[in-house]
Structure 1
Amino acid sequence: MEKASGLDLDWYFQYFMHSTHQIDASIDAVAVGNDTLSITMGRPGAMPMPVDLLVTYDDGSTQSFHIPLVMMRGNRPLESNEVLLDDWAWTHPTYSFEWPVTQGIESIEIDPLRKTADVNRKNNSVRFNAQKTQQFLRH
């Protein structure tokens, strides 16, 4: 698998075979202000995994993001419309980033293609409506 992917996957086998950690990524906070989208994600399941994230804007257009792990020592090939963000360190339980926006946000979703075995998909997405403030904080 490592030869085919070109990535270091020792971390994955160590976590999968020698821990009881689960795959569970979450969207913990979202704020839109001053033409900037701020997103904070968490890892409640404690197993580090790279994250694919999809932001859907009010007009239906989308922006895809990929967040690799430091211990992968690289990233998978990106799609043409996908943005590569900074690595997520396995030692950090949360990850935050900002992105410039010029319109409202309809939804944000982790793993939109459902490629990971996330144990709690209820915390993977946030939907907004036009009348609602563009803010979200998971309790």
Structure 2
Amino acid sequence: MAGVNKVILVGNLGKDPEVRHLEGGNSVAHFTLATNEYYKDKQGTRVERTEWHNISAWRGLAELAAKYLKKGTQVYIEGKLRTRQYQDKDQQTRYITEIIADEISLLGGRPGGAGNGAASPSTDESVSLRQEPELDQLPF
């Protein structure tokens, strides 16, 4: 049996997506997502803990994310966890763990509401954005 690598997050964007256009015509969008957790400490005081996640969206999903997502937007994200390494400017090996988004759904009302500046989808566009799998990723 194959393993399962699935992440589901609900949170708010920490910044507008940054889109890069790569050679070969592919696009990638990067942004951060904050998720909050609440608990009571030993003294009974309510404590909020914020976890920051690095999100990447590819191809058409990247373009749609750039069009509809803005800082502060509440979203539901499904994707997979991926860790990659790179060399920093001092030639030190660094690692980054990120979520590769397969689906992004806008939450908290219609996009563009509450003055966040996001473009509103027209009636023929969906507020749930989904990345179609590449042919080499299909399980057959």
What is the TM-score when the length of structure 1 is the normalising length?
0.28
User: Which structure has the higher relative contact order (CA within 8 Å, separation 6+)?
Assistant: 1
Structure with higher Rg: it is 2
TM-score where L is the length of structure 2: 0.28
